[in-house]
Structure 1
């Protein structure tokens, strides 16, 4: 390996300096740079043992960055795509669902501010919230102007 090529561990640390990454994300991004079988796994094992790779921090980071703008469904898919364990995803989504209506209402209020004048406008508002991962019941309550049950 030449001096101009950073080690796998160096590349992983550079990625982790930017934001939290799950082990699966790092494997996906660094696999093309692996020169011998098992080298990447050893580097990631070492980083994980030292606490540089932490699934709970990945979950917390995604929730912090995305929960204010996305529904539980979209956050769930994002966590799954990052390779977060099913248990951690389920816990995070359960926590988000408690505030789903309030978050959807705040996003709707910032974007639209008032109920739609007609059915086409209402459909557009509903599609906007659906694209952000909010569930149908929550969307109907927000766009229909009904408060939390």
Structure 2
């Protein structure tokens, strides 16, 4: 049990982990009951927190990912849907259009000249998790001339 706890603390010392990630990484080193007990102990000591993970993840990734991708990634990491939605709702970040424009400026900085280029830029933004309407609005007026 002490070895399992030490391993969990070493993992948490490197970076934040969700409860599900930590349980998955510890699965080969103990029984499910031992793992649950260790994680519960770490949560009681505030060494592991899904809420803290969600807050840090949104802060770190918001500049380069859209809301759709942030939501998908956090759910894939085993966070509760209500926790994800609440952190995305209260996150202090610019709206999707502003984040998409900033990302687009760093990557392209010139308006698409033809349909092929428009599609390439749209695919890039879709891959980063921006909604189709946000992408259309951005590529219609990429430099912010028409912010209607």
TM-score under structure 1 normalisation? 0.89
1:86 to 81, 94, 113: 81
Counterpart CA distance in 2 for 1:68 and 1:18 is 22
Query: Is residue 101–residue 148 contact of structure 1 (8 Å, CA) maintained in 2?
Result: no
Map of 2:66 onto structure 1: 71
Cα RMSD after superposing both structures:
1.9
In the TM superposition, what whole-angstrom CA distance separates every residue of 1:85-125 from its partner, at most 9, and x where no partner exists?
A: 11111123334686111000000011000101111001100
Map of 1:111 onto structure 2: 107
Structure 1 residues not aligned, in runs of 5+ = none
Map of 1:31 onto structure 2: 27
Are residues 56 and 33 of structure 1, via their aligned partners in 2, closer, same or farther at CA, if it must alter by over 3 Å? same
Counterpart CA distance in 1 for 2:29 and 2:77 is 19
Query: Is residue 21–residue 77 contact of structure 2 (8 Å, CA) maintained in 1?
Result: yes
1:9 to 2, 5, 9: 5
Structure 2 residues not aligned, in runs of 5+ = none
1:60 to 44, 55, 60: 55
1:22 aligned onto 2:18:
yes
Secondary structure of the corresponding residue to residue 110 of structure 1: helix
Deviation of 1:58 after TM superposition, in Å, equals 0.4
Counterpart CA distance in 2 for 1:67 and 1:8 is 33
Secondary structure of the corresponding residue to residue 52 of structure 1: coil
Are residues 37 and 95 of structure 1, via their aligned partners in 2, closer, same or farther at CA, if it must alter by over 3 Å? closer
Are residues 20 and 37 of structure 1, via their aligned partners in 2, closer, same or farther at CA, if it must alter by over 3 Å? closer
